[in-house]
Amino acid sequence: MRRKFNLLCATVVVAVLLSAVSARAVEPLRIYAAGSLTDAFTEIAAAFPVPPGSIAAPVFGPSGSLRQRIEKGEAADLLASADMTQPRALAKAQAGRFVAMFTRNRLCVLGRADLHLTPESVLDRMLDPAVRVATSTPGADPGGDYAWAVFARAEALHPGARAILEAKALKLVGGPDTKPLVPGRGQVEGVFLSHSADLMLGYCSSGEPVVKALPDLVNVRLPEALTVGPAYGLVVLSDHPLAARFALFVLSEQGQAILQRHGFDPIGVAGP
């Protein structure tokens, strides 16, 4: 009798474990990604060869804020960040997790066409007391951290520039609770539609769609002496059966080609 009871208990335990594994396997993949990746990752998720319903609607937002939400207990299987810092912090907290850089971006100044922005004039325009400079929010969003790194580099070209730019910068987007300045429009579009700033430091990939929507703006790449090169990293955060596959798909030639179409600099395209 005792042997039968033990066998019954073992059978129940195995059944429960198999049920849990089966339930886990059918849960949709939960992707958290930087806001600047919205268009690219929406297309990548649609192109990922899995049955419908296998991926939950991706969660997009400032990378630093997403990392904090995950640390506070929100369930995510993968984070794709606009920097390496956020994935590294999550990987450090979980043994056996690894971080991979999957693409790069560039920094541009998006601004009114009547400012006559060029790579050579952009620093003078930013320092002009009459020109309002917008950035993302440092700490919450890597876009803001990159802007502050640009300000630090400006110091070598114009002594005192760092303090001037840090003092005048308007942190209008990328905060954990930042709402669009114009309802129904993107955060960056809202900055200019609401006339809240004259120019804005940000990613080149994000500026191009705004210029298409608002043709009275221009998107000018920063000169080499001022710029820093944003590196995007991802980390797999769970043992979801699709998480590692999705990360590999992002790094694949198909995933890299999608990133390139959306203005990113791929690291995994070999060419013809």
- The distance between the two most distant Cα atoms of the chain, rounded to a whole number of Å, is 90
What are 122-139's pLDDT values in tens digits?
999 999 999 999 999 999
Contact in structure between 37 and 80 (CB atoms under 8 Å): yes
What are 73-114's pLDDT values in tens digits?
999 999 999 999 999 999 999 989 999 999 999 999 999 999
User: What pLDDT is stored for residue 178 in this prediction?
Assistant: 85
Q: How far apart are CA 166 and CA 161, in angstroms?
A: 8
What is the CATH code for 2-104+231-266?
3.40.190.10
Contact in structure between 41 and 24 (CB atoms under 8 Å): no
> Band of the pLDDT at 245, cuts 50, 70, 90?
very high
Contact in structure between 111 and 117 (CB atoms under 8 Å): yes
Contact in structure between 126 and 225 (CB atoms under 8 Å): no
Mean pLDDT of the chain: 90
Q: Where do the structural domains in the chain lie, given as residue ranges?
A: 2-104+231-266, 107-221
What are 17-47's pLDDT values in tens digits?
334 444 445 699 999 999 999 999 999 999 9
Q: How far apart are CA 169 and CA 162, in angstroms?
A: 11
Q: What percent of the chain has pLDDT over 90?
A: 84
Q: Is pLDDT above 80 for 165? A: yes
Beta strands in 18-106 (DSSP E): 31-34, 59-61, 78-81, 99-104
User: What pLDDT is stored for residue 271 in this prediction?
Assistant: 67
- Residue 207: Cβ within 10 Å count: 25
User: What pLDDT is stored for residue 177 in this prediction?
Assistant: 81
Beta pairing class for 231-236 and 217-221 = unpaired
Q: How would you classify residue 263: left for phi > 0, otherwise alpha for psi between -120 and 50, otherwise beta?
A: left
User: Model's pTM, two decimal places?
Assistant: 0.86
Q: How far apart are CA 43 and CA 233, in angstroms?
A: 18
User: What pLDDT is stored for residue 176 in this prediction?
Assistant: 83
Q: Residue range 241-247: average pLDDT?
A: 98
What are the φ and ψ backbone dihedral angles of 35, each rounded to 5 degrees? -60, -35
Q: Six-digit token pair at 26?
A: 């059918």
User: What pLDDT is stored for residue 196 in this prediction?
Assistant: 97
User: What pLDDT is stored for residue 91 in this prediction?
Assistant: 97
CATH topology (fold) of 107-221? D-Maltodextrin-Binding Protein; domain 2 (3.40.190)
Q: Six-digit token pair at 207?
A: 């500026």
Q: Which residues contact 14 (CB under 8 A, 6 or more apart)?
A: none
CA angle 138, 134, 225 (to 5 degrees): 75
